Amino acid sequence: MPDTGSQQAESADRRTELAADRTVLAAERTYAAWVRTGLAALAAGVGAKKVLGGVMQEWAVLATGSVLVLFGAFCFVAAVWRELRAGAPPPQPDIRRLPRAALIGVNGFLVLVCLGALLGVWFGETGGE
């Protein structure tokens, strides 16, 4: 007769490993959501400069574009912060996490793009007349 105690322990260990994998994948989905939100805010901030130019006063256009672009930069920083500071470490997962250097490099570049876009919002031409 097989030892059910060891089978249950192996099954529990495997479930724990699978839970660790799900935790890693959930963190990656959260990271992707932060980056997606940041890209949308960046695009909206740049677009606000042209779209709202003939509709709103200049100061309101600059404020709206600036807030959206700065929110995009915040999202890129928050994405890395949330990914690298995941809380209590789960058991060792079977899948690999995203490399820290890639996360910091890509999101650092996106923050620089936001700063360039912010300069464009402040000093570029406004749409309209």
**Residue 25: inside a domain:** yes
Closest CA to 113 of 60, 55, 39: 39
**Residue 2: inside a domain:** no
**Residue 105: inside a domain:** yes
**Residue 19: inside a domain:** yes
Residues 70, 48: Cα–Cα separation, whole Å: 13
What pLDDT is stored for residue 4 in this prediction? 66
Q: How many domains does the chain have?
A: 1
Neighbours of 41 (CB within 10 A): 21
pLDDT tens, the chain, 129 aa long: 556 667 766 777 778 788 888 888 888 899 999 999 999 999 999 999 888 888 899 999 999 999 999 999 999 999 999 888 766 566 677 778 889 899 999 999 999 999 999 999 999 876 555
What pLDDT is stored for residue 90 in this prediction? 60
**Residue 53: inside a domain:** yes
What pLDDT is stored for residue 31 in this prediction? 92
What pLDDT is stored for residue 104 in this prediction? 93
**Residue 104: inside a domain:** yes
| Vertex 69: Cα angle to 67 and 73 (nearest 5) | 110
Give the domain range for residue 115.
7-123
**Residue 39: inside a domain:** yes
What pLDDT is stored for residue 27 in this prediction? 85
**Residue 87: inside a domain:** yes
In contact, 72 and 114? CB cutoff 8 Å:
yes
> Token digits for 93?
């997962």
